[in-house]
Amino acid sequence: MLLQQYLSTRQYTEHLCNPLEIEDYVPQAIEYTSPPKWHLAHTTWFFERLILKTYADNYCEFNADFDFLFNSYYQTLGERAIRAQRGIFTRPTVQQVYQYRKYVDEHMHHLLSRPISDKVQQLVTLGINHEQQHQELLITDLKYTLSLNPLHPEYSPEFNLVTDKNQDDGWVEIKQGLYEIGHQQQSFCYDNELGRHKVWLPDFQIANALVTNAEYIAFIEDGGYTQFHYWLDEGWQWLNSEQISAPLYWKKIDGQWHYYTLAGIKLLDPDAILSHVSFYEANAFACWKGMRLPTEFEWEAASQYLDWGKRWEWTSSAYLPYPGFKISEGAIGEYNGKFMVNQMVLRGASVATAKSHQRYTYRNFFPPHLQWQFSGIRLVKDHD
């Protein structure tokens, strides 16, 4: 079954690349994104470097230079290419990267066709989850790159990803009390979800529905981007220096809001759920509404009552270790812990997240100014 999971995950990554031209695989439009080619190779390197090279008998690495090219940020594993230069490596070619994938898949197939240790099983599961994260990033990054092209290229007509609507409205009321937060470890989770612990929560009400485009337009039209008192000071500096006046991909054409989608440029759907806002924008919107964002603990406590999984939802929680959090030995210890400063937690999952990758204890995190995720807003109020 692990083999099945492995193979289907690997195939799905390649399936996502079906609509791409060779040229689309190459560029890195901004430092925090990566080229499709790099995502394809890096996820493969992860299996080769952490599993095959240690646990497969007589494994012979595909190309010794790939270790330098496709290591992302694992200092434990040696020198890496500079992050900002992923878009200038024209070789290996796309075809060679697919050969690399094939080669590693064959060896993984062989490895997983026999009894494996718990340790290997855990690493394979981690590798699968890692690849799922990169599937999402591949789509998210691709949208960013294509959006800059004045030709507004379409990735795929079925892949709009931003027209889904809320199923529900109203408010869920949560009573004050001690809640258990964190993963219970019966199944896979990342290390940052571990350390199940008690958190005292106050009374609060949390919205069933996420904020829609129409609601956000009301904020814009009420001068939301021109009034400093809705904004955190850093957010205000950000919008002024970057000249931000709308969510990412929004563009006013002949007086009408449009947005770039993976199906090309479209008229904005007012009823669809808002996407591509930064934490600064999410926080300012909530402030304008006289409400606030949930903490990640409130979100987790309420999650069973909510319809979630369409947008990454900004919380008001900074990304910090749970009580008892320990960084693991070796490379996998670099997966999460070293990023626990100056980032905000997002909960839920986005339309680009694999279903089997979603869980209510999942802690996603990004710096507060980034808009390129499929990120939205859920409001909380303290009392009626």
- Phi/psi of residue 136, nearest 5 degrees: -65, -45
First to last CA, the chain: 49
339 binds its own copies (CB under 8 A): yes
- Binding status of residue 226 toward its own copies by CB under 8 A: no
Is the CB of residue 382 less than 8 Å from the CB of residue 176?
Answer: no
267: contact with its own copies by CB under 8 A: no
**DSSP state at residue 6:** H
50 or 272: CB nearest its own copies: 50
d(CA 286, CA 268): 21
244 binds its own copies (CB under 8 A): no
91 binds its own copies (CB under 8 A): yes
| Burial zone of 329 (CB within 10 Å; 0-12 exposed, 13-18 middle, 19+ buried) | exposed
Taking CB under 8 A as the criterion, the residue among 16, 52, 94, 379 binding its own copies is 94
Residue 6 in contact with its own copies, rule: CB under 8 A? no
- Residues near 297 by beta carbon (within 8 Å), at least 6 away in sequence: 179, 181, 199, 201, 317
Smallest distance, its own copies to C-beta of residue 295, A = 8
Distance CA 105, CA 43 (A): 11
Cα 334 → chain centroid: 17
Neighbours of 330 (CB within 10 A): 11
For its own copies, the closer CB: 353 or 361: 361
Least distance to its own copies from the beta carbon of 321, Å?
A: 7
Among 163-171, 230-238, 245-253, 259-267, the segment contacting its own copies (CB under 8 A): 230-238
Q: Closest approach of Cβ 8 to its own copies, in Å?
A: 28
The Cα angle at residue 344 between residues 328 and 235, in degrees rounded to 5: 150
Q: What is the residue whose two structure tokens read 């959090």? A: 325
333 sits near its own copies (criterion: CB under 8 A):
yes
Q: Binding string to its own copies for residues 114 to 133, with x set by CB under 8 A, is what? A: --------------------
Query: Judged by CB under 8 A, does residue 65 bind its own copies?
Result: yes
Q: CA-to-CA distance for 14 and 18, rounded, in angstroms?
A: 7
Whether the Cβ atoms of residue 231 and residue 239 lie closer than 8 Å to each other: yes
CB environment 207-222: b (16+ within 10 A), e (fewer): bbbbbbbebbbebbee
Count of positions on this chain that bind its own copies (CB under 8 A): 68
CB closer to its own copies out of 145 and 375: 145
Q: Does 384 bind its own copies (CB under 8 A)?
A: no
Minimum distance from CB of 273 to its own copies (Å)?
24
Residue 26 binds to its own copies (criterion: CB under 8 A): yes
Q: With contacts defined by CB under 8 A, name the span among 68-76, 123-131, 164-172, 218-226 that binds its own copies.
A: 68-76
The token duo for 256 is 């009408």
Stretch that binds its own copies, among 8-16, 163-171, 227-235, 259-267 (CB under 8 A): 227-235
Q: Quick check: 241 binds its own copies (CB under 8 A)?
A: no
Does residue 159 interact with its own copies by CB under 8 A? Answer: no
256-261 vs 171-174, strand pairing mode: unpaired
Considering only the stretches 69-77, 112-120, 124-132, 167-175, report the one whose residues sit in contact with its own copies under the rule CB under 8 A: 69-77
Single residue of 8, 11, 15, 88 touching its own copies by CB under 8 A: 88
Contacts of 298 (CB under 8 A, 6+ apart): 174, 201, 204, 206, 315, 380
Using rule CB under 8 A, residue 198 touches its own copies: yes
Contacting residues toward its own copies, per CB under 8 A: 21-27, 29, 37, 65, 68-69, 73, 75-76, 81, 85, 87-94, 145-146, 148-151, 153, 178, 197-200, 202, 228-229, 231-236, 279-280, 283, 287, 316-318, 320-321, 323-324, 327, 333-334, 338-342, 344, 368, 382
